[in-house]
């Protein structure tokens, strides 16, 4: 029978169990949780002259000792690559799962959202730039170990933990460890990301992340380069990889006036989506609100989003949504077979869900998704 700590110590002190020096350190070193961890050696290389090269995302940062990487979370410390985004979220809040956005994954449930400072993109219209464009150690942070995260989710009756707000690729190691632990405790995990990540770390992550809300931010390499400081091709490749895995996937595109609202490109994107991700994978078109370095632009007109949604349906996609505009019928889930509005929403709030385990109450068609 396993001993509790008190009994273990009692017997140890009585001489019944020999304590090694390491045991003593483990038992009594209960100070603050560590906020740094080595990057998985499978995902970085040690180069000559103590340099390191990271392979978590396609930027493949090469760092000299003492340098910090592009995403501001990983540092070369004496020839080892350490992440400083660990146990220290700057965001800890409870959200509706619909906010990710996820409309076909446990609708109407709440999620415990976590984010750590840093990001591997440079979006000019970032909604959370004060956290994403900062080093974690410069922010006001909570101390949340994987145990505390899982415990907090259970206590607050959250079915999931969400890795969101900043891009979780920048806090990959923390997300991985929390999600593995939470899954063991019966809590599922969801991730909102731009998916600028290499294949192997992504495949490893799919073992513990149950659903992804992927921001495919446009369908134009120049837009990715100039407005996001990123690249489109690796994101498309990663989406195809993700589709091969078992995690649930929904795609979201924020439509930014004059930057990525070309309807020809939207049609190209929808065609690509159908061919590579399938007609059943939901697509959300979102309203841009003036933010950060694009304050001079207007918010996206609802009519633009309606045109994008219509194109999605014309190209054969079965579930095309509008978010950040409500009330709007594009917030609702429709049965693709009989066209009944089976889940009615007001923004992120569910007004009525008439499905039972994702089955349409009228025609009995099964909707794609994870319903319980």
Nearer Cβ to ligand SF4 (98/173): 173
Going by C-alpha positions, the residue among 106, 117, 109, 44 that lies closest to residue 81 is: 44
Stretch that binds ligand SF4, among 66-74, 151-159, 185-193, 317-325 (CB under 6 A): 66-74
Nearer Cβ to ligand SF4 (148/199): 199
**Residue 180 Cβ vs ligand SF4, minimum distance, rounded to whole Å:** 19
Stretch that binds ligand SF4, among 65-73, 136-144, 224-232, 321-329 (CB under 6 A): 65-73
* Torsions phi, psi for 92 (to 5 deg): -145, 105
Task: Decide if residue 45 touches ligand SF4 (CB under 6 A).
Answer: no
Going by C-alpha positions, the residue among 229, 249, 241, 178 that lies closest to residue 208 is: 178
**Residue 33 Cβ vs ligand SF4, minimum distance, rounded to whole Å:** 22
Task: Decide if residue 57 touches ligand SF4 (CB under 6 A).
Answer: yes
Task: Decide if residue 71 touches ligand SF4 (CB under 6 A).
Answer: yes
| Token pair 């837009």: residue | 223
Task: Give the one residue of 36, 70, 153, 369 binding ligand SF4; rule: CB under 6 A.
Answer: 70
Task: Give the one residue of 69, 121, 158, 305 binding ligand SF4; rule: CB under 6 A.
Answer: 69
Task: Give the one residue of 76, 110, 120, 333 binding ligand SF4; rule: CB under 6 A.
Answer: 120
Nearer Cβ to ligand SF4 (71/249): 71
Q: Please tell me the distance from the alpha carbon of residue 303 to that of residue 289, in angstroms, as a whole number.
A: 15
Stretch that binds ligand SF4, among 11-19, 69-77, 177-185, 234-242 (CB under 6 A): 69-77
The site for ligand SF4, by CB under 6 A, has a size of 12
**Residue 61 Cβ vs ligand SF4, minimum distance, rounded to whole Å:** 3
Stretch that binds ligand SF4, among 56-64, 182-190, 202-210, 243-251 (CB under 6 A): 56-64
Task: Decide if residue 61 touches ligand SF4 (CB under 6 A).
Answer: yes
Nearer Cβ to ligand SF4 (215/317): 215
Q: What is the 3-state secondary structure (H, E, C) of the chain?
A: CCCCHHHHHHHHHCCCCCCCHHHHHHHHCCCCCCCCEECCHHHEEECHHHCEEECCCCCCCEECCCCECCCCCEEEECCEEEECCCCCCCEEEEEEHHHCCCCCECCCCEEEEEECCCCCCCCCCCCCHHHHCCCHHHCCCCCCCHHHHHHHHHHCCCCEEEECCCCHHHHHHHHHHHHHHHHHCCCEEEEEECCCCCHHHHHHHCCCCCEEEEECCCCCHHHHHHHHCCCCHHHHHHHHHHHHCCCEEEEEEEECCCCCCCHHHHHHHHHHHHHHHCCCCCEEEEECCCCCCCCCCCCCCHHHHHHHHHHHHHCCCCCEEEECCCCCHHHCEECCCCCCEEEEEECCEEEEECCECCECCCCCCECCCECC
Task: Decide if residue 320 touches ligand SF4 (CB under 6 A).
Answer: no
Q: Is-contact 92 166, C-beta < 8 A?
A: no
**Residue 88 Cβ vs ligand SF4, minimum distance, rounded to whole Å:** 17
Task: Decide if residue 248 touches ligand SF4 (CB under 6 A).
Answer: no
Task: Decide if residue 59 touches ligand SF4 (CB under 6 A).
Answer: yes
Task: Decide if residue 54 touches ligand SF4 (CB under 6 A).
Answer: yes
Task: Give the one residue of 10, 11, 60, 366 binding ligand SF4; rule: CB under 6 A.
Answer: 60
Task: Decide if residue 131 touches ligand SF4 (CB under 6 A).
Answer: no
Omega before residue 93 within 30° of 0, cis: no
**Residue 152 Cβ vs ligand SF4, minimum distance, rounded to whole Å:** 27
Nearer Cβ to ligand SF4 (229/257): 229
Task: Decide if residue 176 touches ligand SF4 (CB under 6 A).
Answer: no
- Interacting residues toward ligand SF4 by CB under 6 A: 54, 56-57, 59-61, 69-71, 74, 120, 169
């Amino acid at each position: 029978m396993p001993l509790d700590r008190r009994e273990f110590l009692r017997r140890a002190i009585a001489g019944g169990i020999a304590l090694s020096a390491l045991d003593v350190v483990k038992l009594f070193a209960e100070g603050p949780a560590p906020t740094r961890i080595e990057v998985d050696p499978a995902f970085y290389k040690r180069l000559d002259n103590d340099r390191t090269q990271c392979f978590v995302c396609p930027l493949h940062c090469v760092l000299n000792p003492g340098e910090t990487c592009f995403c501001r979370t990983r540092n070369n410390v004496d020839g080892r690559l350490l992440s400083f985004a660990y146990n220290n979220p700057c965001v800890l809040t409870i959200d509706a799962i619909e906010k990710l956005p996820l409309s076909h994954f446990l609708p109407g449930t709440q999620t415990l959202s976590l984010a750590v400072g840093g990001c591997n993109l440079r979006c000019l219209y970032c909604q959370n730039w004060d956290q994403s464009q900062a080093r974690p150690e410069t922010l006001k942070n909570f101390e949340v170990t994987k145990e505390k995260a899982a415990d907090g989710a259970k206590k607050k009756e959250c079915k999931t933990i969400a890795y969101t707000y900043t891009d979780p690729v920048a806090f990959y190691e923390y997300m991985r460890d929390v999600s593995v632990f939470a899954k063991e405790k019966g809590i599922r995990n969801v991730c909102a990301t731009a998916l600028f990540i290499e294949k192997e770390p992504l495949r490893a992550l799919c073992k513990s992340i149950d659903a992804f809300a992927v921001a495919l931010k446009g369908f134009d390499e120049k837009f990715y380069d100039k407005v996001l400081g990123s690249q489109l091709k690796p994101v498309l490749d990663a989406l195809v990889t993700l589709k091969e895995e078992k995690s649930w996937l929904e795609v979201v595109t924020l439509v930014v006036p004059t930057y990525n609202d070309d309807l020809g490109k939207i049609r190209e994107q929808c065609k690509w989506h159908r061919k590579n991700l399938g007609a059943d994978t939901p697509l959300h078109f979102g309203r841009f609100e003036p933010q950060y370095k694009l304050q001079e632009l207007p918010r996206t007109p609802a009519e633009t989003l309606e045109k994008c949604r219509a194109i999605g349906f014309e190209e054969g996609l079965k579930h095309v949504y509008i978010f950040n505009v409500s009330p709007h019928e594009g917030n609702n889930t429709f049965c693709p077979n009989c066209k009944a509005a089976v889940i009615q929403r007001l923004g992120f709030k569910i007004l009525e869900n008439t499905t039972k385990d994702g089955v349409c109450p009228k025609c009995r068609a099964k909707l794609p998704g994870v319903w319980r």
